[in-house]
Amino acid sequence: MEVRVAKTAGFCFGVTRAVNAVYEACRTEKLCTYGPLINNKVLTDDLSRKGVRIVSDLSVLDGETVVVRSHGAPKEVFEELEHRGVKHIDCTCPHVKKIHKLAAQSQESGRQLLILGDPLHPEVIGIKSYAKGSIVASDLEELKSVNFAYNIKYDLVVQTTYRHEHFSEAANYLKNLGLDIIIWDTICSATMVRQIEAEALAKEMDVMIILGDPLSSNTDKLHQICKQYCKRTFRVESIHNLLLNILNSDDKIGITAGASTPLAITEEAVNFMSDLENTNGNQSFEEMLDESIVTLHTGDIVKGTVIQVNSGGEVSVNLNYKSDGIIPKSEITSDPAVDVNDVVKSGDVIDVYVVRVNDGDGNVLLSKRKIDSQKNYTELEEAYTNKTPVSGKIIEQVKGGLIAMINGLRVFVPSSQISNRYVEDLSVFKGKEFNFNILDFDRSRKRIVAGRKELSVIEQNQRKEEFFSNVQAGQKLEGVVSRIAAFGAFVDLGGVDGLIHISELSWGRVRKVSDVLKEGDHVKVTVLDLNKEKGKISLSLKDVDGNPWNNVADKYPHGKIIQGKVVRIVPFGAFVEIEPGLDGLVHISQIAHKHVAKPEDELSIGDIIRVKVTEIDETNKKISLSKKEADGMMTTEEKAEAELKAEIPTVPTPEEFPADPVPEEIPLPDAPEVIPTEEA
């Protein structure tokens, strides 16, 4: 028996992306999917066991994050999710998203949209919602029944899983009608490749087995194609649904699978075929292919059954060979702290690499690490080829970047590729797990380069989308100050930055942002405004309860005499701080009873003065004050004290005393006349 598996069998990129996203998210979140994530009951049942239920009505949500299926959803579903503020993960296939965009553009430009596909398929239902009045035709015959008008402009899109030859027939028909039409080939390239490969395989095989869910559209197309070239074509959900008596021991059997079929189902089919025994009790196909005893050579990769794990971590393996195989602990794992019993156990069937056929004691020396390493290299090579993100952990900082452990392999991450913005201290990433893109892969040199710059942008946009979907103005949030600027402080709100403008740092006056905050400070902020289009979030550090304008009319009623500090002088008056965050204006006409030409002739910044409250405008946040009226309401004692202060001369400081004049020449007194003595 010969068994060949199509290279492109199983999950396509869009399905892989959706499945990975849901399995990752369900670890930490309560999820539900809007419709089955993909058309595969095996997978949806597994998700159900993990607590991910399927809903078709958003009114029955129970605090879950909603996952939009890979086939997409009608526009109205997204609008309702946004309107209700429901957190959701959009797993719509990128190819389907592209068709949504084309449909919306068609409607905006006033064109008539034609859709080629199954009108009952969720993908087509979703596309229709983006262009009202769309015409749907399932095949060329239905298309021929459409009454086309030559004064109307048309656009044609096609379901991603549609058969390419049928699409070509429909496209040629429309072109020959002479319509003003733009034809978009929106069939998924992976679908087309899978169909071409299935056709080629079916032409060479005696039996074709198509694995996939009964509801899967692309599986149905594969079945139709293979049936044309291989009469013994069978479509089954899994290999266990196949009637065994339809097979012969010398059959050449081809296996392919729809884009919604997990790899495990295909692998199960291949393994099952190799172990199959017919109802007459003949040998298994594997035995018929190799009737003699197994022969081994260094470098072979073979299957073996674990016999036991001894106390030292050494593993004995049955190879169907004249001697058992031995796997030292060092060839099971490179981590000495790992318990081998957590890796393999008695009865496990594992792939092993033959290091030496005879280790000197008659045993076959084996390695599991080499197999794992090869598989890991293969998986990373596939991730590189398919541009599929992979998970890894940063373990070390080196010159020029970091080392990540991905699939058990050391991978270099350049410093420029760790984030979408410059990071000065790379050590902050050590020990953290991320998703990476494989940027360069050279198996011969064992050189693998990874990065997450593009993923950082995608993840940041997703975080922003989630943030704007779940946060509203007035909401209080906690964050960490990430950067200080002259005009304010940026706060990290969990992967999304918001700005506290300097005017929102305090109710009082703030000269410098650094006087209030520093990087790394944990703060509690209030959301002032959200601009989703520009991605801007305005925050405030001010406590609403501490607003000095609260009950201002009760604190400072009309006519009350208060003291304040002159904080600013302008041509038309002076602003006086009554309390932090609360200023009032003394108009130039209210400074003194006499005419005042310039406010600075009477007042200086820093002066403490008495003022009278003359008006409070709470709507426009304005307070009018009068120094003139406050002065006129002084008591006799206050006036006497003010006058006394005015009369007391200012005592100059020692430095201000005038120096005594120094005369140019000081005259000396006349010398007395000398009278000689008698002795002289």
Please choose, from the candidates 461, 468, 414, the residue with its C-alpha nearest in 3D space to the C-alpha of residue 437: 414
Q: Answer yes or no: are the C-beta atoms of 588 and 573 closer than 8 Å.
A: yes
Tokens of 131: 């262009």
Tokens of 347: 């009865």
Please choose, from the candidates 591, 621, 629, 624, the residue with its C-alpha nearest in 3D space to the C-alpha of residue 607: 591
CA distance 657 to 672: 39
579-596 burial: b if 16+ Cβ within 10 Å, else e: eeebbbbbbbebbeeeeb
CA distance 128 to 70: 16
Residue among 24, 29, 64, 123 flagged as catalytic: 123
CA distance 191 to 220: 12
For residue 94, the tally of other CB atoms under 10 A from its CB is 11
| Side chain identity at residue 464, one-letter code | K
Catalytic-residue membership of 643: no
SS (H, E, C) 400-448: CEEEEEECCEEEEEEHHHCCCCCCCCHHHHCCCEEEEEEEEEECCCCEE
Q: Answer yes or no: are the C-beta atoms of 577 and 534 closer than 8 Å.
A: no
Sign, CA torsion 147/153/156/157: negative
- Residue whose token pair is 């309560």: 30
Q: Answer yes or no: are the C-beta atoms of 258 and 212 closer than 8 Å.
A: yes
Please choose, from the candidates 536, 421, 520, 528, the residue with its C-alpha nearest in 3D space to the C-alpha of residue 479: 520
- Could you give the residue numbers annotated as active site? 123
